[in-house]
């Protein structure tokens, strides 16, 4: 059994489940919100406030879920981080998207994708560049395209691994037994809570019929308007974490991820060594 990420020796932050990677996401989201605010926009997405993170230090996963749910409606910063958004005109929405993602590239060949350059990626690019300490710049270096592409593909490889599908099903059965049916994975539970939060905030969710985890957007567990938003989010989050713990979900997914990483390390030793040297030169 592996005890750490095999890729840690080559490139930090590749394991999205690590606390270091989650902290980068939290920092980046706050930076994005501030960057947009500086340009006159409210960030449409919810994120955890610094106060919620500080208050939650030292709590177990179950205790954190009982206090903050998924961190949407329950976060001390959620109301100010993403308030009800007044409908934007098409021109205003285009300006918002350009501020967030940067301008659309105009000089990309038909058979090539755009080359990553954080300076052209709007608030998203500048925030993650700062939060990662510049590691993201490696994605703009063609010398590392092959191995970085393989690292990016790990997430999909883990999702379709039969061991992960089995533990997802065990988790789903546990959730159904507790009254939360039709959820395929923990990601689906978080997505359901996000849609609840968006409804409360008055933001229109741009859903095309299915969510990221394959759950129908016609939510069979849509709460009544009389329910307290924080209470219903906490109830779902607590059952989610309890079911994850009971079936060993996080441990299983982590081991599967690390085993796929180990295969990658054995397949691309020279490419990863070069990537490690390049990452080291940035620090």
Predicted local distance difference test score (pLDDT) of residue 223 = 55
The pTM for the full model equals 0.72
Tens digit of each residue's pLDDT (9 = 90 or more) over 105-146: 766 555 555 667 888 989 999 998 898 888 887 877 888 889
Instruction: Tell me the HSE value of 129 on the side-chain side, using a 13 A CA sphere.
Output: 16
Cα separation, 144 vs 277, whole angstroms: 11
For residues 11 and 274, is the Cβ–Cβ distance under 8 A?
no
Give the pLDDT confidence score for residue 10 in this predicted structure.
Answer: 85
Say whether pLDDT at 179 is over 90.
yes
- Residue 135: the pLDDT is 81
Task: Judge whether residue 203 has pLDDT over 50.
Answer: no
Do 280 and 18 meet the contact criterion of CB atoms below 8 Å apart?
no
> Token match 């208050």: residue?
55
239 in a structural domain:
yes
Question: 45-49, 91-95, 133-137: which has the highest mean pLDDT?
Answer: 91-95
The reply to whether 124 falls in a domain is yes
Give the rounded distance of the alpha carbon of 103 from its chain centre. Answer: 23
Count of domains forming the chain: 1
Residues of the domain holding 143: 6-282
Report if residue 1 sits inside a domain. no
Phi/psi region, residue 141 (left: phi>0; alpha: psi -120 to 50; beta: rest), is beta
Containing H/E element for 241?
Answer: helix 229-247
Per-residue pLDDT at 208 exceeds 80: no
pLDDT at 198 over 50: yes
CB 49 within 8 A of CB 76: yes
Question: Residue 30 falls within a domain, yes or no?
Answer: yes
Confidence bin at 224 (pLDDT 50/70/90):
low
The span from the CA of 55 to the CA of 16, in Å, is 23
Bridge partners of 210?
216
Q: What share of the chain is helix, strand, coil (3-state, %, to 5)?
A: 65, 0, 35
Residue 85 lies in a domain: yes
Q: Which helix H or strand E contains 92, and what residues bound it? A: helix 90-101
What are the tokens at 5? Answer: 């990420």
Poorest-confidence range of 14-23, 149-158, 214-223? 214-223
Q: At what angle do helices 122-131 and 19-38 cross, to 10 degrees?
A: 140
Strand partners, 216: 210
Residue 153: in which H helix or E strand, if any? Answer: helix 145-160
Give me the pLDDT at residue 83, please: 45
- What pLDDT is stored for residue 51 in this prediction? 53
Q: What is the CA radius of gyration of the chain?
A: 20
Residue 6 pLDDT class (50, 70, 90 cuts): very high
Partnered with residue 85 across adjacent β-strands are none
Instruction: Answer whether residue 153 is part of any domain.
Output: yes
Q: By the 8 A CB rule, do 76 and 55 touch? A: yes
* Percentage of the chain modeled with pLDDT above 70: 74
Distances (CA, A) of 119 to 34, 111, 217, 259: 17, 23, 35, 35
Compute the C-alpha angle 128/129/134, nearest 5°.
135
Q: Which stretch, 29-43, 57-71, 96-110, 233-247, has highest mean pLDDT?
A: 233-247
CA distance 152 to 149: 5
């Amino acid at each position: 059994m592996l005890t750490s990420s095999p890729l840690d020796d080559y490139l930090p932050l590749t394991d999205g489940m690590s606390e270091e990677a989650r902290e980068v996401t939290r920092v980046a989201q706050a930076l994005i919100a501030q960057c947009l605010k500086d340009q006159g926009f409210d960030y449409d997405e919810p994120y955890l406030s610094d106060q919620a993170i500080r208050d939650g230090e030292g709590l177990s996963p179950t205790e954190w879920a009982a206090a903050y749910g998924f961190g949407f409606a329950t976060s001390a910063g959620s109301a100010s981080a993403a308030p009800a958004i007044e409908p934007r005109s098409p021109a205003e929405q285009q300006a918002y998207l350009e501020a967030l993602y940067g301008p659309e590239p105009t000089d990309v060949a038909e058979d090539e994708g755009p080359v990553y350059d954080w300076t052209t990626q709007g608030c998203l690019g500048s925030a993650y560049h700062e939060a990662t300490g510049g590691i993201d710049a490696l994605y703009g270096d063609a010398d590392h395209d092959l191995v970085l592409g393989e690292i990016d593909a790990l997430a999909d490889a883990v999702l379709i691994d039969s061991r992960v599908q089995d533990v997802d099903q065990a988790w789903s059965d546990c959730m159904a037994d507790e009254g939360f049916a039709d959820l395929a994975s923990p990601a689906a539970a978080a997505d359901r809570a996000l849609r609840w939060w968006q409804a409360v905030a008055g933001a229109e969710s741009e859903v095309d019929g299915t969510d990221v985890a394959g759950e129908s957007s016609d939510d069979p567990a849509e709460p009544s308007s009389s329910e307290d938003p924080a209470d219903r989010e906490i109830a779902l989050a607590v059952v989610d974490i309890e079911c994850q713990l009971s079936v060993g979900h996080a441990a299983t997914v982590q081991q599967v991820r690390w085993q796929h990483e180990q295969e990658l390390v054995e397949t691309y030793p020279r490419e990863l060594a070069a990537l490690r040297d390049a990452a080291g030169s940035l620090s």
